[in-house]
């Protein structure tokens, strides 16, 4: 599948901003199953400084500084991306989950890199409740692929999707307490549950191409950013699961960045200098299939 992804973030203020410094994670990754044919990121007003770099995890980070006084800051990223469904070694998915922990696999060259994703992070705290929840699916010797998919199924069934239930700072304990959240929360929950048993799981940010109901036209701009989790499978890379939609990641998913949790890869964050007392944020995302 080929998609044109448009992601516009607009900040509006009730007084001039004299200096705005930002970092954006909006450029999709180049991967074995994903090719970025074209991409552009525009900041308005024009920044004094606009640079790109790769962060520790290989994500494209865009840095900018706007020193022209402004009351509106607009960040627009447009990308053409070709995506295939990731492929996995079926034999590797049968590995007992205990042997899929990077600490148990010093024989594999990429285990040291995966180990970073087995550690706790601020938004994916490995609570006793998370450990107990995952333990129900992690019977001794159970194949790692089967166990991970069951955890995905259970989170989808046990937790309600509710945009009003949480915020970007919601903790794993909060998610268990409310039994509700959004894609970011369900990804963090997956991380906390599986990491607490030594598995390596990374937080993935990106987009999911939506399909309109039968007989309805596609609504431009109705899409949103999305988040899911990917579990390290020795000898087969990473198994990406989407507990929000209860499915394995396929060719409808565009991968932008990954890290330990949301805090590593927010779409846009920054610091401003202003005497403004109020502001508004508007985000418009469109993931449109490209034909021909």
Residue bearing tokens 């087969």: 236
Q: How confident is the model at residue 48 (pLDDT cuts 50, 70, 90)?
A: very high
Q: What's the pLDDT band for 192 if we cut at 50, 70, 90?
A: very high
Residue ranges per structural domain of the chain: 2-83+266-289, 90-264
Indicate the average pLDDT of the chain. 94
Label residue 222 by pLDDT band (50, 70, 90): low
Helix spans in 136-279 (H): 144-158, 172-178, 183-195
How far is it, in rounded angstroms, from Cα 34 to Cα 193? 28
Q: Which residue from 157, 152, 186, 161 is spatially nearest to 172, judged by alpha carbons?
A: 186
Tokens of 2: 């080929």
Summarised one tens digit per residue, pLDDT across range 115-129 is 999 999 999 999 999
Q: Strands, E, within the chain: which ranges?
A: 2-24, 34-44, 49-54, 60-66, 70-83, 160-161, 180-181, 201-208, 225-233, 237-242, 247-248, 253-259, 268-274, 279-289
Strand partners, 282: 10
Task: Report the alpha-carbon distance of residue 43 to residue 213 in Å, rounded.
Answer: 34
90-264 topology per CATH? C8orf32 fold (3.10.620)
The predicted model scores a pTM of 0.94
Residue 216 has pLDDT above 80, yes or no: no
Question: pLDDT band at 210, cuts 50/70/90?
Answer: confident
Are the beta carbons of 182 and 170 closer than 8 angstroms?
no
pLDDT of residue 212: 66
- Mention the CATH class of domain 2-83+266-289: mainly beta
Residue 218 has pLDDT above 90, yes or no: no
Q: What's the pLDDT at 165? A: 85
Closest-CA residue to 192 (of 85, 110, 114, 119): 119
Q: How far apart are CA 230 and CA 238, in angstroms?
A: 6
- Does pLDDT of 53 surpass 80? yes
What integer pLDDT is reported at residue 99 of this predicted model? 96
pLDDT at 173: 94
In the chain, the percentage of residues whose pLDDT exceeds 70 is: 96
pLDDT of the residue at 220: 55
Q: What's the pLDDT score for residue 44? A: 98
Task: Examine the pLDDT at 54 and tell me if it is beyond 90.
Answer: yes
Q: Which residue has the higher pLDDT, 186 or 165?
A: 186
How far CA 219 is from CA of 80, 101, 208, 222, 234, in Å, comes to 19, 43, 14, 6, 41
Query: How far apart are the two ends of the chain, measured CA to CA in Å?
Result: 11
Mean pLDDT of 95-103: 96
Q: pLDDT > 90: what percent of the chain?
A: 87
Give the long-range contacts of residues 54-60, CB within 8 A, separation 24 or more: 55/264, 57/257, 57/258, 57/259, 57/264, 58/29, 59/25, 59/29, 59/256, 59/257, 59/258, 59/259, 59/265, 60/25, 60/27, 60/29, 60/257
pLDDT grade for 109, boundaries at 50, 70 and 90: confident
């Amino acid at each position: 599948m080929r998609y044109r992804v448009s992601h516009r973030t607009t900040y509006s203020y009730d007084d001039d901003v004299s200096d705005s410094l930002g970092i954006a994670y909006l450029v999709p990754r180049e991967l074995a199953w994903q090719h970025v044919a074209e991409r552009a990121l525009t900041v308005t007003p024009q920044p004094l400084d606009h640079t790109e770099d790769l962060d520790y995890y290989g994500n494209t980070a865009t840095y900018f500084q706007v020193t022209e006084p402004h009351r509106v800051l607009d960040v627009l990223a447009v990308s053409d991306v070709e995506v295939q469904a990731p492929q996995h070694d079926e034999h590797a998915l049968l590995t007992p989950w205990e042997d899929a922990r990077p600490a148990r696999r010093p024989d594999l060259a990429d285990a040291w890199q995966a180990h970073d994703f087995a550690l706790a992070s601020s938004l994916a705290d490995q609570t006793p409740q998370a450990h107990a929840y995952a333990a129900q699916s992690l019977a001794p010797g159970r194949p790692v692929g089967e166990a991970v998919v069951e955890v995905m199924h259970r989170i989808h069934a046990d937790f309600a999707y509710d945009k009003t239930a949480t915020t970007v700072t919601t903790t794993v304990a909060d998610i268990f307490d409310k039994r509700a959240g959004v894609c970011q929360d369900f990804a963090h929950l997956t991380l906390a549950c599986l990491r607490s048993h030594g598995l390596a799981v990374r937080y993935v940010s990106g987009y999911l191409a939506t399909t309109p109901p039968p007989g309805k036209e596609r609504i431009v701009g109705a899409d949103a950013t999305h988040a899911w989790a990917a579990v390290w499978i020795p000898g087969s890379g990473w198994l990406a699961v989407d507990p929000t939609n209860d499915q394995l990641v396929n060719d409808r998913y565009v991968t932008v960045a990954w890290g330990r949790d949301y805090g590593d890869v927010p779409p846009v964050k920054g610091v401003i200098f202003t005497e403004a007392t109020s502001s508004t944020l508007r985000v418009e995302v469109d993931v449109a299939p490209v034909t021909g």
